[in-house]
Chains A and B, each alone.
Chain A
Amino acid sequence: MRALAFAARSLTRQPARATLGMLGVAAVGALLFDMLLLSEGMIVSMRDLLDRTGFDVRVTTTPEMPRTAPRMENATETVDAIQKLPDVRTAIAIRFADVAIEHGQGEPLTGTFQGIVGASRPWTVMKGRDLHDTAAEIVINRILANDLHLEPGAAIVARTSCDSSPNASLPVTFHVSGIVSFPFELANEIMIGGTLATLERACGDVTRDQADMVLVTSTGPSDAVATAIGRIRPDLRAATNAQMLGRVEQGGFTYFRQISTVLTTVTVAFALLLICVLLTVSVNQRLGEIAALRALGFSRRRVVADVLCESALIVGTGGLLSLPLGALLAMWLDRILKNLPNIPADLHFFVFEPGALLLHLTLLVVTAFVAALYPMQIVARLPIAATLRSEVIS
């Protein structure tokens, strides 16, 4: 405790250098904290998004991500077969199609039409009501509602295409029953939801009964349900939320993890080097003073502890400052990265996790200790008489 107070006094004697050292650690620490948040942030956010949808098994034709895999045939029959499995509460098939909404002035608004087969719905109603069984009814997301000032009960004219550009298909009038929130909708993405029959009618009355994926809610262990689906439909790939996360981790999102690892390493090395240099220069400037203290009776252990405490104070204060700074920086960087194409609006790149904070603190503690090793060694090996003599002569 005495060593800490002594180190604090040493630092306050040189306020400019101590403040700059702490600010430097704060800036580096903020970057380090953000990189640790980034390394797991997307996965944590994606897990949260997947869990929030209420479906715990996703079925596609290949291990590719939904909408990039080939479509499955006989969607209705597939949903019925899965629905009959034990431990399955509900199953729905989703077919995605491009849609262009006409609105009188200017270019049509383009978006995605989700056609559903099954009893439950993947969206949450925010205003109005859910679909009834009429083929002309749809639900829309808030972005479309805001863009065209639509309310439940309004009618819209849209061109939908299951194969090519929506501009090539015929316009169809739909009635909006409700305004909903879709899971995984992209920022500024226009989305429409309806039954698969509605979608196929909009596509020109072509009954293909195809789906991009099937979502399943299980009552028991999702692994067992995924295995059971694989057994009845070996041509399909059923994945639990955990397995989907695994696919996501193997996909493009790993880029951010790699970037985070590289920047974490560089940041820690940078902090280590600079704190070590700061302490070493500081100790070298005070060699005479330290030798005098030793001559007055300060033990070797005590002067070494002083240096370690100085390091701990610089890194500790900087580290504390780095947390709010890091949080602000994370918000800024998250806003930048959310402009990436095809990123769901609710997905975040920087997500706070206690584990990240713990690792951040651990790395700072290790940095404070390792950075102080060399200056501690200088102080420990300081020859008292020779140093005092050279101080007097100089």
Chain B
Amino acid sequence: MLLTRAHLLLLITSVVLPSGALQAQTSNAPDVLVSRQLAESEHIRVGQTIVLSPHANGAEARPFRVVGLYEPTPDPQRLGSVPREVRMHLPDLLNVTRLPGQAAGTEPADGINVALTRRDDTDAFVRDVNARMPGVGAMRADLAGNAIGTFTVLERFHYAIAAVTILAATVFLLALTIMLVDERRETVGVLRLIGLPVRRILVQILLEGLLVAAAGAVLGLLLAYASEGLINRFFQWKYDTAMLFVGITPRLALRCVSIAIPLGAAATVLASWALLRRNGLRLVRR
């Protein structure tokens, strides 16, 4: 069991260059990391000294030395709001935000992140903390926070859209295959008249359907791969975030193919079935 660090963010309410009385404090100013977005909007550079205040009016401002810039972890909950954030050591943050009269060490913290030496112990550790420390709630990191909920809901939404799209595509596919099969009515009739059994023709149609569906699935995947970077770049630019919006994984590609190919083949066979049940002479219109 190892206590690592507390993630805390201080909202910047004023960023100004140090001057006057603050000048003296700047020599031993604590270190701070600045988010890329804040650095870009306020033209902050590494090595510069900035002044941060916990109050909207800039009162009790203190200088901090910028030792680095960082890319904030993308948060779907905050999509659209530019993360103007800084990160600092917890004691430095508490020095800035401590209430008048509050003793050092009694300040509240939002949370403690814990990295265990053995991941398998997570559930037991959570149970232990909750039982032994009343007033403190421990939970697995993968279940904490709203972001998980957001992702789950968005995933369900996208699945629902995908389901409707597949349904519409299937209906169109059936309509198209019925027309295409109808176009080959006479060819199928001749094959029947020269003695090919229905099963043999059906296998041929199934193979054709599989080939066409596979080619369509591959083309679809190629199109998806080609547009993946484009969509990500557009939305990353739009929201100024490093978040990935579209990610085509091998598992996802496999799932798409496993839906597209059987669907295409099934539509072909289904559309052909009604035709093959007819007499060979009727098919050649004799």
Contact = CB atoms under 8 A, between A and B. Distances in A.
Interface of A: 16-17, 20-21, 23-24, 27-28, 30-31, 61-62, 64-65, 68-70, 72-73, 161, 163-165, 167-168, 235-236, 250-255, 258, 262-263, 270, 274, 277-278, 281-282, 285, 329, 332-333, 336-337, 339-342
Contact of A168 (B135, B153, B183): B135
Chain B interface residue bracket vs A: 35 or more
Contacts of B172: 20-21, 24, 274, 278
B135 A167 contact: yes
Contacts of B11: 62, 64, 69-70
B79 A21 contact: no
Contacts of B109: 164
Given A164-B108, A235-B57, 19 more contacts: A20-B172, A20-B175, A24-B175, A64-B11, A72-B56, A236-B56, A251-B80, A251-B81, A252-B78, A252-B79, A254-B80, A254-B238, A254-B239, A255-B79, A255-B80, A258-B235, A278-B172, A281-B180, A342-B146
Nearest to A19: B175
Contacts of B164: 27, 30-31, 329
Contact of B168 (A31, A69, A337): A31
Contacts of B146: 341-342
Which secondary structure characterizes the binding site on chain A? helix
Nearest to A339: B153
B150 A340 contact: yes
B16 interface: no
Interface of B: 11, 13, 54-57, 76-81, 99, 108-110, 134-137, 146, 149-150, 152-154, 156-157, 160-161, 164-165, 167-169, 171-172, 174-176, 178-180, 182-183, 231, 235, 238-239
A70 B137 CA distance: 26
Contacts of B137: 165, 167
Contact of B81 (A31, A70, A252, A336): A252
A235 B235 contact: no
Given A31-B164, A70-B13, A255-B79, A20 B135 contact: no
Given A27-B171, A285-B182, A341-B146, A64 B81 contact: yes
Contacts of A163: 99, 108
A274 B57 CA distance: 61
B178 to A, nearest CB: 5
Contacts of A253: 80
B214 to A, nearest CB: 19
Q: Which of A16, A167, A168, A251 has the most CB of B within 10 A?
A: A16
Q: Which of B54, B76, B154, B157 has the most CB of A within 10 A?
A: B157
Q: Which of B153, B171, B176, B231 has the most CB of A within 10 A?
A: B171
B171 A20 contact: yes
A281 B80 contact: no
Nearest to A275: B172
Nearest to B79: A252
